[in-house]
Amino acid sequence: MAFLVLDGLTKRFGEHIAVENLSLAVEQGEFLALLGPSGCGKTTTLQMIAGFVTPTSGTITLAGQDLLAVKPAKRGLGIVFQSYALFPHMTAAENVAFGLEMQGVDKSERSRRVTEALELVGLGKFAERHPRRMSGGQQQRVALARALVIRPSILLLDEPLSNLDAKLREEMQIELRQIQRNVGTTTILVTHDQSEAMALSDRIAVMSQGRIEQIAPPHEAYERPATPFVANFLGKTNVLQAQVQSGQALLGEGRWPVPAGSPPRVLVTVRPEKIGFADGGAQALAGQVVTRIFQGNHWLYQVDTAHGRVTVIRQNSGETAPAEGEAVRLSWRQEDMSVRPAETAR
Amino acid sequence: MSAAETEDRRSWMPYLLSAPALLLFIAIVLVPLAMTVLLSFHDWGQYKGIETVFILKNWREIWSDGYFHEVFLRTFRVAFLVTLLTAVLGAPEAYILSRMKSPWKGIFLLVVIGPLLISVVARTLGWALLFGGSGGVVNKALLNLGVISTPIPFMFTETGMMVALAHVLMPFMVLSVWAALQKLDPQIENAALSLGASQMTVLRRIVLPQIMPGILAGAIIVFALAASAFATPSIIGGRRLKVASTLAYDEFLNTLNWPLGAAVAVLLLIALVLIIVGSNRIIERRYAEVFR
Ligand SMILES: Nc1ncnc2c1ncn2[C@@H]1O[C@H](COP(=O)(O)OP(=O)(O)OP(=O)(O)O)[C@@H](O)[C@H]1O
Ligand SMILES: [Mg+2]
């Protein structure tokens, strides 16, 4: 049995269903990301695990024990709150020390571990600072140190890096991943940043409107999204309407075989980076470049075709890039596209 | 128009705009105050009345006469204990109120603010009816039940004065703590819980320090109002148990020794200002972090 199991978890706020029949199993030492748009119930789910929100129905078990019967103070979880929730009347060091004090760790050991934790998040010099005199990112890192220092059985992180600049965020991501690998703390990370979820986690649970759409390793969720919502949420994607004739989807001059039994109208999904410019040949969709944006390591194109606007990403590998207004022919490999009946489109 | 001219006119604007209010303030506060201060240096005699001279007679009298010491000591002792009482009862009261669910919250807040809506005199007389001598309802009941053998003294006691004042001034403490509680992030308490703190520890280590500025602000208001209160001490204290404000009143209206009354009033004002400004300084320095 898995380490942490959420089973049929539901939370209603009056009429509004924040989390609906959510089931999830997290293995010991796993790094799981809860990914979803704003308001989809990520924080509510996390707060139910933490014990600050009581589920309307459903169960939570930790290592075979009913967690709902345990008081929040006894759950031994390390939590980084979305609003940081630092103690404003205490310095950074006092904030971090609080949990150790509650555990009855003696003073010298305490100060050693506090210093260590603050060094870890790069705030060694800010130990005596009060939270209100710190930037949002610094506060966020104090919150992280405060959660890490008690060596919790599970780490619950509610958008712990959302306020950091890109460079610092990347550093903290690597740090977080390393801590998690070294200590082996089971971690649940809430985020609405899909690249962060993919960079850090062993598995991603994509949520939408209180339900889980797909739980899968990042690569699998990206390559084989279970629903259109997941496909759209995990990076850019192109969805093209196509007719099916004698087992083949018609896209421009291209003919792509589709699974047997496909309806006459299908939706074809292709990731922008999987589309290439074909020199010639029949297997291609003709179009015209509308915009071309240089983004350093790659070019981003918008191409108008008979099937709508298509986004194309090409590596900046030195080959000549088609100019705006130029006619191009788009093609991709059979295995890079997925086909769905048009009716299921949402 | 040049830029300098515009600048010039702008800098005058605030003074011009606040001039009417400023004049009113000077006319009804500063002028009478200055006149009271002057009055306290005048002479007075049973038959000659007020003499407009500049002498220190009244101040010397207050300084040397033990009776005045007693009155001022009582004034500040009562004010201090009333402040303590409202803080000890009012802070938990505000916390419990803030934790109540929606309909009850409003109802009980109204109950707390209630005393402010009733005339001081009516409210104090109510206390007098409850505890006044052996005729008071509560005393009568306790006597009849045999719980006590002599009535609990209330009228003409400092205890009675303090209880009645604490009741009157409780709303100021509760509202002030209430305001501080509204700024509390409930997740902060959750954070402390998740780190293994007990409910008591959360209250003592997390909630109390954060609402301390509210308690202290309430304490300053309550102290100032208690030390300068007039109606309650005069009804409960009667003519026997004087505080500074009832003493000044007596000098003005009964003895007709206006200069001495003025000296008492001015001394009360100075003492209050010093105590409040002083404690405010200490508080602001101590709680610089929480106040920001
Ligand atoms: N205490 C509450 N009372 C009523 N509705 C609530 C409450 N808390 C959350 N909700 C609602 O539940 C839904 C889920 O909220 P939640 O905070 O879990 O979203 P989230 O996924 O964390 O979003 P975000 O990324 O913006 O933080 C929202 O629609 C929100 O309005
Ligand atoms: Mg949230």
| Under-70 pLDDT residues of chain B | 1-9, 133-134, 289-292
CA count, 13 A, side-chain hemisphere, A260: 0
The pTM for the full model equals: 0.80
Q: Is there a contact between B132 and B154 (Cβ–Cβ < 8 Å)?
A: yes
State if residue A203 touches ligand 1 by the CB under 6 angstroms criterion: no
**Overall average pLDDT of the A51-74 stretch:** 94
Closest approach of B243 to chain A, Cα-based (Å): 39
Q: What is the mean pLDDT of residues A185-206?
A: 92
Q: Which fold has domain A236-344?
A: OB fold (Dihydrolipoamide Acetyltransferase, E2P) (2.40.50)
For residues A261 and A258, give the distance between their C-alpha atoms in angstroms, rounded to a whole number: 9
Neighbours of A278 (CB within 10 A): 17
**Per-residue model confidence as pLDDT tens digits over B170-219:** 999 999 999 999 989 989 999 999 999 999 999 999 999 999 989 999 99
Residues B29, B22: contact at Cβ < 8 Å?
A: no
Interval A239-247 mean pLDDT: 87
Domains and CATH numbers, chain B: 1-39 (no CATH), 66-291 (1.10.3720.10)
**Residue A158 CA: distances (Å) to CA of A41, A46, A79, A82, A186:** 12, 8, 8, 5, 14
Q: Which residue of A has its CA nearest to B212?
A: A89
Strands A4-13 and A16-26 turn out to be: antiparallel
Q: What is the ipTM of this complex?
A: 0.81
Specify the DSSP element, H or E, that contains B124.
Answer: helix B120-131
Question: β-strand A327-331 against A276-277: which pairing, if any?
Answer: antiparallel
**Confidence (pLDDT) at B47:** 84
| Cα–Cα distance measured from residue A186 to residue A155, given in angstroms and rounded to the nearest whole number | 6
Of A52, A73, A85, the CB nearest to B197: A73
| Cβ proximity of B81 and B165 under 8 Å | no
- What residue ranges do the domains of chain A occupy? 4-231, 236-344
- Tell me how far apart the alpha carbons of residues B184 and B196 are, in angstroms, rounded to a whole number: 20
Mutate to test the interface with A, among B189, B195, B286 (most CBs of A within 10 A): B195
Q: Which chain B residues touch A76 with a CB distance below 8 Å?
A: 196
Runs of H (alpha helix) within chain A = 42-50, 92-103, 107-120, 136-149, 166-183, 194-200, 218-223, 228-233
Q: What CA–CA distance (Å, rounded) separates B11 from A338? A: 71
Query: Where does the pLDDT of residue A34 fall: very low under 50, low under 70, confident under 90, or very high at 90 and above?
Result: very high
Cβ(A241)–Cβ(A342) below 8 Å: yes
Q: Does the structural domain A4-231 have CATH classification 3.40.50.300?
A: yes
